[in-house]
Structure 1
Amino acid sequence: MAQRIKVASYNIHKGVGTDRQRDPARILKVLQEVDADIVCLQEADLRFGKRTSVLPPFLIASHTDYVPVPLDVQHDSMGWHGNAILVKNGITVESHDIIHIPCLEPRGVVTATLGIGSAQVSVFGMHLDLSGLWRVRQARAIATLADSARSDRPTMLMGDLNEWRANSGCFREFGKHFSVLDPGPSFPSRRPLGRLDRIMHSDQLKATGCGVHRSPLATTASDHLPVWAELSIG
């Protein structure tokens, strides 16, 4: 029987909403609305100082059934250059890593191999550069690594690609190896125009649905809306 999972990607803008208030609990409520099994977050840590996690561990533990993938990079951070992965209780973390990519701005990629029932999947979470030239270089490097992972197990990639062009730039690089889903406009959250947040998957996975989660709470909680996809393994 095919294993079905729901995944999501969400740029939480360091917990600062469109009302300019930082409210981590509001972000967690949006995640509860989306109710995905696996979530890739962007801008999950503060940018300066100790780069502390925007979402305090005690809030995650007490208000959700998510567990952060332990990237073991910085003591007070949850992610790597703001990228983090949350998984529902019951999903096992088989391995995890951080990936250095070519960059103009501080950028990185996080990855994990996860056990879901009898299946294993690889997940890559990313936030690409504002520069189109660097985005293409980053996409090429990430796609090469993810293409290697998909030879062993189903693979998905998620994040804020910062790509405004519909079918060119970094989408062309990812599209050489993966199916690129288009959930719809997700930025800015109050009046979405840009399809910046994307989910991609290898051919071992079948997408049965995807979309943008737009609720009154999500419209205020961040400048991006979460995107989601339902996938079938096998």
Structure 2
Amino acid sequence: MPRILTYNVHRCLGTDGRLSPVRVADVIAAYEPDVVALQELDVGRVRTGGVDQAHAIAQALGMHVHFHASMRMLEEEYGNAILTHRPSKLVKAEALPGLAGKPRLEPRGALWASVKLGGADVQIINTHLGLRRHERLAQVNALLGPHWLGHRACRGPMIVLGDFNATPRSRAYQRLAAQLWDAQALARLPRPTATFPSRLPIFRIDHVFVSRGIAVQRVEAVRTPLARVASDHLPLLVEFQIVRGKASQASMAHIQG
């Protein structure tokens, strides 16, 4: 049964002040995911010792990596990645809109890979949205538009995941939840599970949204002692099945129950 994990790794800087891509990889490896969506990776940056964190983590996990730099400063890069050991291809990696008149906001982006899982090509989009309400809404609208989820190549099972900086009460979250299903809702958890901050998680801002064709079996926020210190976010793991044919989401929920 495929597993996918989203994890804001905070440039591999732990809550103890220690930089360690290896520690981040160890947190991930314990759960043996097929696909990993990472946010806040440094590549060749002086502040983190010039390490290519995306490739370092991928190498430790025995995975290949698709990386998108949402921000570039000379030779330094900062962005998001999709890692997997399954057959995959990068479909798209681009910037998301910011706010007019606010040029100093941190640039945001997304990347989309097609990954072979459970005999199907699953379209996976990883993103890290902005900190301002109107900024996030513009970015969600872009993701729901014709260049991303509305694109003709984005057919079949889809998963959109990452750090949305948006709680379930936000308009950005609600816009996405109107088009896709929150994996936590489908998993019928006794209570929603938060991922931030890692030492005492109270906010649910890291999400996994799925389309028709994905039957969520299990959702878990990774709360191991190592995960609590490796980053300021906890990873969110989703285990799922690919549903064949034109099964409705209601029937998928029934399969889960």
Please give the range of the TM-score, normalised by the shorter of the 2 chains.
Answer: 0.7 to 0.9
Q: Is contact 2:8-2:231 (8 Å) kept?
A: yes
User: In the superposition, relative to structure 1, how do residues 56 and 38 fare at CA in structure 2: closer, same or farther (>3 Å)?
Assistant: closer
Unaligned runs of 5+ in 1: none
Matched, 1:152 2:161: no
Q: Which residue of 2 aligns with 1:125?
A: 126
**Amino acid of the structure 2 residue aligned with 1:102:** P
Q: Is contact 2:164-2:206 (8 Å) kept?
A: yes
Q: Is contact 1:81-1:108 (8 Å) kept?
A: no
Q: Is contact 2:130-2:164 (8 Å) kept?
A: yes
Q: 3-state SS of the aligned residue for 2:30?
A: helix
**Amino acid of the structure 2 residue aligned with 1:162:** N
Choose the corresponding residue for 1:57, options 44, 52, 55.
Answer: 55
Q: Which residue of 2 aligns with 1:97?
A: 92
Q: Alpha-carbon deviation of 1:122? A: 0.5
The separation in 1 between residues aligned to 2:8 and 2:131, in whole angstroms, is 14
Query: What pairs up with 1:1-234 in 2 under 5 angstroms?
Result: 4-45=1-42, 54-55=52-53, 57=55, 60-61=58-59, 63-69=60-66, 81-88=78-85, 91-103=86-98, 104-116=105-117, 118-144=119-145, 145-148=148-151, 152-164=155-167, 166-182=168-184, 184-234=193-243
Deviation per CA, 1:61-115, whole angstroms, max 9, x where unpaired? 2x322221265998977xx851100002xx1123332122111421100111112
User: In the superposition, relative to structure 1, how do residues 22 and 151 fare at CA in structure 2: closer, same or farther (>3 Å)?
Assistant: closer
Q: Is contact 1:149-1:155 (8 Å) kept?
A: no
Q: 3-state SS of the aligned residue for 1:123?
A: strand
The separation in 1 between residues aligned to 2:218 and 2:111, in whole angstroms, is 24
User: In the superposition, relative to structure 1, how do residues 199 and 117 fare at CA in structure 2: closer, same or farther (>3 Å)?
Assistant: closer
**Amino acid of the structure 1 residue aligned with 2:91:** H
Unaligned runs of 5+ in 2: 99-104, 185-191, 244-257
Q: Is contact 1:69-1:93 (8 Å) kept?
A: no
User: In the superposition, relative to structure 1, how do residues 150 and 6 fare at CA in structure 2: closer, same or farther (>3 Å)?
Assistant: farther
Q: Alpha-carbon deviation of 1:171? A: 1.0
Q: Is contact 1:102-1:137 (8 Å) kept?
A: yes
The separation in 1 between residues aligned to 2:20 and 2:181, in whole angstroms, is 34
Q: 3-state SS of the aligned residue for 1:223?
A: coil
TM-score (norm 2): 0.78
Q: Is contact 2:82-2:126 (8 Å) kept?
A: yes
The separation in 2 between residues aligned to 1:233 and 1:39, in whole angstroms, is 17
Q: Is contact 1:219-1:225 (8 Å) kept?
A: yes
The separation in 1 between residues aligned to 2:213 and 2:173, in whole angstroms, is 20
Q: Which runs of 4+ in 1 moved over 6 A?
A: 72-77
**Amino acid of the structure 2 residue aligned with 1:94:** K
**Amino acid of the structure 2 residue aligned with 1:16:** L
Which deviates more from structure 2 when the two are superposed, residues 94-103 or residues 33-42? 94-103
Q: Alpha-carbon deviation of 1:153? A: 1.8
Q: 3-state SS of the aligned residue for 1:158?
A: strand
The structure with the largest alpha-carbon Rg is 2
Q: Which residue of 1 aligns with 2:188?
A: none
Q: Alpha-carbon deviation of 1:147? A: 3.9
User: In the superposition, relative to structure 1, how do residues 56 and 157 fare at CA in structure 2: closer, same or farther (>3 Å)?
Assistant: closer
The separation in 1 between residues aligned to 2:177 and 2:238, in whole angstroms, is 17
Deviation per CA, 1:159-212, whole angstroms, max 9, x where unpaired? 001113x33321111012100233611000000011010000101111111120
State the percentage of identical aligned residues: 28
